[in-house]
Structure 1
């Protein structure tokens, strides 16, 4: 399949995912009358539902990575080429920011904002490593053993991780950066983004290793540059 079609799919999916994450956070706060638990429940449920739909409909086209660590993991496994991986990362990052702006526009908020929500400390960083580890492990093993259940499994894991991690499970570098551009319920300070992304990468590396231990039949990583077959 042509790379351009895959990139368009990743762009649409990532933008809609971020619009859902940020928009549902805004709506949750507006309707919860100050109850953060209700707001988080709404945020988690909407995000999980969006993931289920987006992975179901976009997965057959681009793989529905919607997340740089997923794309890098697929590159590590040799399932996509280096050119595709770089293109995926760029598109995911730009589209994530576009999704935040879209959410702001829908709620008549200033388009350009700076996040002020402090998210730092060992507990937060460990949470991001654990959240990303679990997400990527779910994806790697589900792709081999339960491919038809992938949308439900990923959505279910993220819904749970919103609640069992102190960071509310960002688990996505593009999403993390984009959320630095909203001062809403879902925001994060820009200075906290780097540590979150580093923790996410650590979690992803552990997931790749543990997945291979749990399933020795997983393909051996191919690190040499590859060319994408013609679409």
Structure 2
């Protein structure tokens, strides 16, 4: 499959994947990764706990004129996650993949590790087409364009400067860049708010007073 089709599938899948209830999405991802023994129980429990505390709740915010406001989150879009680890430890990459999927993004994982590719391809069969895909690391630069919402570079050998320079020349929304050393003791990987980097906040407003009692719905993404 060429890069255009890969990204098209990922973008198409995002349009329905982010609409899945977040609690159901968390359960689906956790069940799949644990069933295929791709992620251990302790790591998965921490990821789930952090997302459930900091991301999954919809916050009510009553307005001064009677409107009802709700603050919630959704995925940013397609997340491109690159495996540039040199020490052969793929758990750090898997943590980012799990968080990206649970928070409502679709994921493209670039890696040259046959073991990681095999495990992720197996897991990907549990999800709708395009939600989780694996590509070769040599396709990294060709995939970094305006269709990607989040770019995650994992590992000390990551081409961070080259990637940032390429993304800066893209047209459209600014692409979020996440840099991780890939070491399991890194501060980023152990940050309970790591999922914030994969989401965008949205506000839903239901106004039942300003138009004579007819409810109107406004929805804004920040």
Q: Normalising by structure 1, what TM-score?
A: 0.29
> Which structure exhibits the higher relative contact order, with contacts defined as CA atoms closer than 8 Å and separated by 6 or more residues?
1
Determine which structure has the larger helix proportion and give its number.
1
- TM-score norm. by structure 2 comes to 0.29
Whichever of the two has the greater Rg, that structure is 2
